[in-house]
Amino acid sequence: MLRYTLLRLLGAIPTLLLVIVLAFLMVHAAPGGPFDAERALPADVAANIEAAYHLDEPLPQQLGRYLSGLLKGDLGPSFRYRDYTVAELIGTGFPLSLQIGTLAMLLALLVGISSGTVAALKRGSMLDRIVMSFAMTGISIPVFVVAPVLVLLLAVKLHWLPAGWSGEAGAAKYVLPVITLALPQIAYIARLTRASMIDVLARDFIRTARAQGLGTKTIIRVHALRPAMLPVLSYLGPAIAAILTGSVVVEEVFGIPGLGASFVRGALNRDYTLVLGIVIFYATLIITLNFVVDVLYGVLDPRVRNR
């Protein structure tokens, strides 16, 4: 198990380094600069500003300086929010994004696993067709379409929920963003659970359990659920990545002051360090979560770690 864990860890490090380098080059390749929106500055003032932020150095030297700062945990100062560092801006916005993402993931797991299991047990029935039709619809419609539709239906037409983020709305303000983020993942998890559960229920050890007179609920809970969850567990890495990246759109639609909103503002303002910091933060988080999922998969399935 230790060898398996170390191999996964060693594979994550070059992946993160590649993401950092590519993100750095792509941000600096974008037209314009972080100070282009300012009023016209005298040449000597502009040169002093670029020197202060090391923008006058060759690109390889800037990359080396940035990587050196990352090794010390320094994401640099924000070019546009000059009283804040990138780490402070991430620390302000991420807790809210984490709350919404965690709630969406929990909802997706609860509803997706339950509906997928029911669909597998009622295979070929009308209930199975309804669940799978919903799943296909959830996969096909992106979050930037789902969010306005939910706002129009549940907030504008029915007045059940607040349309945007408001401090006075209480817990109700979480409902629409969480549902919007969770719906596509519910669909994927339901399909994965159904397919995996059908496969597990056809195996010999399930037939043996039935021959011993065990009830369906006991068979599902004790014998079938754990092996059926392996594909779902392996999907959690991409699912969490989808929820994190999807939160950028959702936070803009609902006016949530999270990390996604900071990312959009940083991109529009050409705030190199803020965009890079958020990309690297998200990449580190996703790679770490994928690493944890790989390790858990190895714990649950010894065949994987023995390869």
Q: What's the pTM?
A: 0.79
Q: Which of 116, 254, 96, 81 minimizes the C-alpha distance to 186?
A: 116
pLDDT tens over the chain, length 307 residues = 667 677 777 777 888 888 888 888 888 777 666 666 555 556 665 666 667 666 777 888 888 888 888 888 888 888 777 778 888 888 888 888 888 888 999 999 999 999 999 999 888 899 889 988 888 888 888 888 888 888 888 888 888 888 878 766 678 888 899 999 998 899 999 999 999 999 998 888 888 888 888 888 888 888 888 888 888 888 887 788 778 776 778 888 888 888 887 888 888 777 888 888 888 888 888 888 877 877 776 676 666 555 5
What span, in angstroms and rounded, lies between the C-alpha atoms of 7 and 99?
Answer: 31
Kindly state whether residue 224 falls inside one of the protein's structural domains: yes
**Residue at 51 is within a domain:** no
Could you tell me if residue 76 is inside a domain?
no
pLDDT score of 283 = 85
CATH number at residue 215: 1.10.3720.10
Residue 261, classified by CB atoms within 10 Å of its CB into exposed (0-12), middle (13-18) or buried (19+), is: buried
Residue 29 falls inside a structural domain:
no
Domain tally, the chain: 1
Q: Which domain holds residue 269?
A: 86-305
Half-sphere exposure at residue 127, Cβ-oriented, CA atoms within 13 angstroms: 11
